[in-house]
Amino acid sequence: MKEIEQVSIVGVGLIGGSLGLVFRQHGIRVVGFDKDAESLKRAAALGVIDEGIPQLVKAVSDSDVIIVCTPVRTIRAILEQLSAISLKPGAIVTDTGSTKKELADFAKRLRWQNGSYIGAHPMAGSHRSGVEAATSDLFENAYYVLTPSKETPLSTVEKLTKLLKFTRAKIVQMTADEHDRIMAAISHWPHVLAAMLVNQVGEYNKRNGWYHTLAAGGFRDFTRIASSDPKMWRDITLTNRVPILTMLEHWQRELSQFRHMLLNEQEEDLEAFFLGAKRFRDQLPKRARGSLPRVYECYVDVPDHPGSIGKVATLLGNKGISLANIGILENREEVAGVLRLAFYKEADYDRAVSVLKEHGYPVYPAERENGNR
């Protein structure tokens, strides 16, 4: 008999759905629960779960591992409910929440009937949400952080690690405290900054529409994450307040230093400031996968008339080539129309390029760090 025969996913959205796909591919039965009946139906229809059960108790009581994948502040309430249920002996309860310390403290105070809790966070995702965005390779090569407490039995960590290895993520461990401090710096604060900048430009745009029209390149790269789910980010910031406030204070110091350099036209200091940032940025590990999903991108010139995008999408769809994204590139005035196509799989990218070329479309690879070779 297999050690893990059944997994329950509570909250079958982007992350829960992606985990469901992975486990099903490895012959593990996946039961889903979601407060939204429609999401549960769609998850079953998409083959993300084997069965959707609309009662929490029934959905979890026969499972070896229960993974709570709802928004962070909802995880608390669900852990509380799970702690009162007579789970399968030895069952492991884990979650995918982006913040860990508050949950760890909360879970410690609960009186678990049976089963043990261990916090975890897959460091992969996207600004998209919902089960339709789920993919089985979302976690490949990303970090999956486990935050066991001192009381977590080693056997629990080992059993969960064994299961999560199916995601092909790199499983690492740290304390919930350390996790939240690091996430504040590399994930939560950047989301706040992106949202602030977009809101600032949005205000200017109310008086002058050129801001919107010309916003491309660096602005789009820097602010992509501002398109993430607002409720999710409300919960993340509220559950990691102290480390985020620390970031804010440090940032205020950075801002006043920069202000000083600029006001005083300190050429050399300004250059050193940008050089320091460039050096650190250039040394970041090139992500095969990470918190940004890997995409293979290319540009396609298309005639500038209605229906051009549809034609390209249909052409690829008819060949069974899956697109991750398709969009019009603005501010490329030298060409009639340019589409940016993104693919999650290299094989889809390669096939798309040759199909499009066969049909006479000029195609250019996008030289992007986040994917293309």
Ligand X SMILES: O=C(O)C(=O)Cc1ccc(O)cc1
Answer for the pair 30, 4: CB distance below 8 angstroms, yes or no: no
Residue span 97-126 as binding mask against ligand NAI, x where in contact by CB under 6 A, dash where not: xx----------------------xx--xx
The answer to whether residue 246 forms part of the interface with ligand NAI (CB under 6 A) is: no
Per CB under 6 A, 193 contacts ligand X: no
Q: What is the DSSP string of 140-180?
A: TTSEEEEE--TTS-HHHHHHHHHHHGGGT-EEEE--HHHHH
308 binding partner (options ligand NAI, ligand X, none; Cβ < 5 to 8 Å by kind): none
Which residue shows structure tokens 């499983």?
171
- Looking at 24, 41, 127, 170, which residue binds ligand X (CB under 6 A)? 127
For ligand NAI, the binding residues in 179-208 under the rule CB under 6 A are: none
What's the token pair of residue 318? 């008819």
CA 257 to CA 259: how far, in whole Å? 5
Q: Which of 81, 129, 246, 372 binds ligand NAI (CB under 6 A)?
A: 129
Using rule CB under 6 A, residue 135 touches ligand X: no
**Quick one: CA torsion of 115, 117, 120, 125, rounded to 10 degrees?**
60
Contact status: 170 vs ligand X (CB under 6 A): no
Residues 211-240 interacting with ligand X (rule: CB under 6 A): 225
Out of ligand NAI, ligand X, none, what residue 135 binds, judged by CB under 5 to 8 A for its kind, is none
- 125 lines the binding site for ligand X (CB under 6 A): yes
Q: What angle do CA 208, 210, 214 make, to 5 degrees?
A: 150
- Determine the straight-line distance between the first and last CA of the chain, rounded to whole angstroms: 43
Rounded distance, CA 335 to CA 363, Å?
Answer: 13
Query: Which residues of this chain interact with ligand NAI, rule CB under 6 A?
Result: 10-16, 34-36, 39, 69-72, 74, 96-98, 121-122, 125-126, 129-130, 229, 232, 236
Query: Which residues of this chain interact with ligand X, rule CB under 6 A?
Result: 98, 123, 125-127, 187, 225, 291-292
